[in-house]
Amino acid sequence: MPVEHSGHQGGPCGKRVGEEGWRLGWSVPGMARREEQAEGDNHLSLAGNERRPALVASLGTLGLWLQQDMADSAQAQKLVYLVTGGCGFLGEHVVRMLLQQEPRLRELRIFDLHLGPWLEELKTGPVQVTAIQGDVTQAHEVAAAVAGAHVVIHTAGLVDVFGKASPETIHEVNVQGTKNVIEACVQTGTQFLVYTSSMEVVGPNIKGHPFYRGNEDTPYEAVHRHPYPSSKARAEQLVLEANGRKVRGGLPLVTCALRPTGIYGEGHQIMRDIYYQGLRLGGRLFRAIPASVEHGRVYVGNVAWMHVLVARELQQRPALMGGQVYFCYDKSPYKSYEDFNMEFLGPCGLRLVGTRPLLPYWLLMLLAALNALLQWLLRPLLLYAPLLNPYTLAMANTTFTVSTNKAQRHFGYEPLFSWEESRTRTIRWMQAMDSSAQ
């Protein structure tokens, strides 16, 4: 069961486009709808040109419309957005979703410790895309990036439940980094802040209590010992407490937090690791968790869409949405962590062996504890960071699922991608990844 993070191997996952294929082909259903609408408008104006007697009057009206249209779009394209962590798994989807779905965007700033080469392709579009290499733990770098932005979407974070980084570093990035973002908004006069929180600010808790299809108001004993959930919980609290603070110029800061459950989709590193692990095991994975343990999952495109929508609607309904938290949800089915992964790994040729866990839970716990010990012993020599440790085992083995419509009620959220689409896109990405490895 203990596995290390993957090396690269080819596998039976199909032969399609190269690894970057999902990036090049990136589009959303809403985009198609906007194109259809534009075509519809063209038909209308052509039909108008055919009616000769009314031509002079129509041209005059057309001129007025055009002027109005140009004025509208000049007026419309006025907002500056900043996405921190914009080159991460979720951040990249948020960036692309904003470019496709936020017509009022004038400039999009992407702030990240590591900038991706794919940013270059975005710079040729109508929106000014500004890539900023920077560190959220450096207050002056954050302030410089935030200055002049209308909206900040703060997704940057250190996501580590495997013991790769020290607790101090996790705290520094996730808590101090978030403090820096809040202070930058206050000092420079940015009024809207959306924070990417996590289901883990709620649970699962260290006692292993199930959270079965709960919502934002479900009582749950949130107890954190692990540095990652503790840091996310503290950062979320800071963001929510900052709601209503006066920013430079005197207007109130409006903040809210989105709490995704386990995100999946194109670019998901852990899915990649599990896939390569399965290949190393001869195309098999061995069931470790009972199928009855439900683990909440949400498609990355829908999480990105929720960020775009919440950022937009926060400006329209600050009184309702300011200081609120929203779970991220869609129509992904409720399943165990392993069964859910098989929705994608299965079509890529992997098999989950066993209808029940193959090892007793006490043995898994022992292996997880052994991994933790090995990590500690080997730390001076090398980084040993397997997927299985006492914390990840507890996460995978505790029911935590969400059932809510708060986002729909507060800001009209509906998932942009159906479950079938989310599944297909994720499978295609895995197949592309596999063919590029061969």
Ligand X SMILES: NC(=O)c1ccc[n+]([C@@H]2O[C@H](COP(=O)([O-])OP(=O)(O)OC[C@H]3O[C@@H](n4cnc5c(N)ncnc54)[C@H](O)[C@@H]3O)[C@@H](O)[C@H]2O)c1
Ligand Y SMILES: C[C@@H](CO)CCC[C@@H](C)[C@H]1CC[C@H]2[C@@H]3[C@H](O)C=C4C[C@@H](O)CC[C@]4(C)[C@H]3CC[C@]12C
The site for ligand X (CB under 6 A) is made up of 85, 87-91, 112-114, 135-137, 155-159, 173, 177, 196, 198, 232, 260, 262-263
CB of 29 to ligand X, least distance (A): 22
Question: Per-residue DSSP letters for 131-146?
Answer: EEE--TT-HHHHHHHH
Q: Which residues 354-393 are close enough to bind ligand Y by CB under 6 A? A: 387-388, 392-393
Identity (one letter) of the amino acid at 123? K
CB count in 10 Å sphere of residue 346: 13
d(CA 112, CA 114): 5
Look at residue 50 and give its three-state secondary structure. Answer: helix
Comparing every residue's Cβ against ligand Y, the nearest one is 262
CB count in 10 Å sphere of residue 277: 18
Rank residues 262 and 322 by Cβ distance to ligand X and give the closer one: 262
User: Which positions from 175 to 204 touch ligand Y by CB under 6 A, shown as an x/- string?
Assistant: -----------------------xxx----
Q: Which of ligand Y, ligand X, none does 392 bind, CB closer than 5 to 8 A by kind?
A: ligand Y
Buried b (16+ CB within 10 A) or exposed e, 93-110: bbbbbbbbbbeebebbbb
Q: Which of ligand X, ligand Y, none does 214 bind, CB closer than 5 to 8 A by kind?
A: none
Comparing every residue's Cβ against ligand X, the nearest one is 88
Q: Which of ligand X, ligand Y, none does 211 bind, CB closer than 5 to 8 A by kind?
A: none
Q: Which residues 38-97 are close enough to bind ligand Y by CB under 6 A? A: none
Active-site annotation holder among 81, 195, 228, 299: 228
CB of 175 to ligand X, least distance (A): 12
For position 396 contacting ligand Y by CB under 6 A, the verdict is yes
Buried b (16+ CB within 10 A) or exposed e, 293-327: bbbbbbbbbbbbbbbbbbbbbbeeebeebbbbbbb
Q: Phi and psi dihedrals of 291, rounded to 5?
A: -65, -20
Q: Which residues 118-177 are close enough to bind ligand Y by CB under 6 A? A: 159, 161
CB of 50 to ligand X, least distance (A): 52
Rank residues 158 and 182 by Cβ distance to ligand Y and give the closer one: 158
Q: Are 416 and 395 in contact (CB under 8 A)?
A: no
- State yes or no: cis peptide before 126, omega within 30 of 0: no
Q: Which token pair is 381?
A: 């020599």
For position 300 contacting ligand Y by CB under 6 A, the verdict is no
- State how far Cα 379 lies from the chain centre: 31
Q: Which token pair is 87?
A: 């080159």
Strands 254-260, 192-196: pairing is: parallel
For position 298 contacting ligand Y by CB under 6 A, the verdict is no
d(CA 416, CA 93): 13
CB of 77 to ligand Y, least distance (A): 34
State yes or no: is 361 an active-site residue. no
Rank residues 26 and 357 by Cβ distance to ligand X and give the closer one: 26
CB of 157 to ligand X, least distance (A): 3
| Active site residue ranges | 228
